[in-house]
Structure 1
């Protein structure tokens, strides 16, 4: 479609950025903290109530979603909802928001080797699962928040079109009360690192979240950003909440009740467990949308093609971000993207392979998880010295038995070794630092052996595959929270010859 007449609208102002300031530094909420560790904190905007996840050991003793108790916080009586996290024995749950009638929570379960993320609502003991189209989460954790008006849900999850690990997505409630599909909030917020535990202020524009991106003061730092328009993909530069809140430890789950002088968050710094609930005095000045529009001015311009709303895949190097020439292999054809770009004409729901010479291939789904506009697909180099983490090679807890579905990523390793017959790899097994260090090394060696045996069974020469277990001796993230410990429990390979 072409157009030769446009309407020019002059905007005097869009809105004012939220201003956040703190008094003093954070202090522990002693009445809530335990050695078990607290995570995924959420406040109830309708009454004096707080919810959070508490880490547990052993096996679950009941099917209760949470335990409700009354506690004194700052001289006031609070309702406290404690969600148990059984560290993978049964799955994980975490609160994400409230309505006047109940609580919404996130749940991740492991079913036949595949993680499944869900959102549920519980009221008066009755649990209902929300129907959210194309909700797919590959990670063992999922966090989120609900806007006070109930119109928007922000979820942190690892889906098919993430920029790194967990990204932030918006889920909008439709006029008929149903929920739309999750949409990625874009590269201005999401990075190759993790973006987790979002909190949306009552203006529905100011978003707080935790991330372990570069430039922070510790493991996870708390940031905030302001939405610039209704696309939910245009955001102000994220602002670090600063040293009064962020430490060399991990800070997540920032939130506050409108009109309160206190903000609450989770910190692992000087905690008696993996995470403690903290509070800090603060002031926020978040103004409502003050958009002012002048009378339209009609102008004549040269004819030009209007931009199309299309889905674009852009294949880039995971480290440099440079575009890569690539192939997209479907069930019926192989498409060539000389500039690393593919235009998706229709969302078929098919799983396709993205491949580039000298890189480990990746499988993606052509479904509604892809955004209109640009979708970044990162590929890891397999040149000598490169270390590639196998994110989706997973094991049952405390065993060397691979979870069903892990073979899919190992098949890509076999493929790249068949395509590059000179490559030799060193498999590396890692755990977190919890438990007996000697047993951790032994477990990591057993897992490496399992992976090596699988690769060799697919026809790769055993002389091209060696392995070693490192236990918890080479962490790539903090071991202070479950979110970061899971990054240390990994199998990776180093290219020793190419």
Structure 2
């Protein structure tokens, strides 16, 4: 065998196993998605791109036979009882990837394979379509991201995936060579004195525990101080001017309760999270929710809480509590919460 060919093959093998060559996550965990019939099968990170492999499965036609007919239906007429009919799929070229809660950290769409981005592709009941979408490379260290195609309009259904977990660690810097370990001389251990005999002390029986009623609301729970790391507490009485970030005076009582709690628990740190409904522009909702969370953070700081104890994140409409489209359902999604990050 030619030596150059052998050397080139060996180099290729070495690079294929190199940690920096790329990261592949098969069947990544997805926290939430807008439709059940599109799955993310693999996410691949190269030096320049984020490559997402999808599988679309169209529902099979279901034979619906009318009951109690004295005669069979001709084959040609049976087609009208089959659902669903042929459909179409496509991928919006305005789709982008986001770091959750960070409106300024997004990654643009580049191209797609086996699915159109202008026009559409016809699909029949039972069809399976495997397609691939290419985006700008996610920054190292972003190991959770959102795939956002847009809001569903005009009878079409957008494909949105929230909280996609992948392998994308930060690049490790080369470590400086360590100095030779020093050889320590053995140290003689002092002779331990013989243990003293144990003397049992009779204890009085403990008092019976008193049952404490669990608080029912976030505000009551804050006052009781019964929280744990990672727990989310809703602030239902924090209000803003419509489509603005200014706090209304009705918010002060609840926020002052939070101030008192933070002053009593000096080691506690929190993350304030803002949420909107999904009406309107996605980017503007993200920005609005972030600025509202920052308004709450600023209020707490003005009341004497150290800035390094409070984070602020905005998630727009990507973390809905209610899935409905009525005003009552949407109002539940317009909210402010805080998460305990340290106790």
Shorter chain as denominator, the TM-score bin is 0.3 to 0.5
More strand by share: 1
Q: Which structure has the greater CA radius of gyration?
A: 2
Higher helix share: 2
TM-score normalised by structure 1 residue count: 0.25
Relative to the length of structure 2, the TM-score reads 0.37
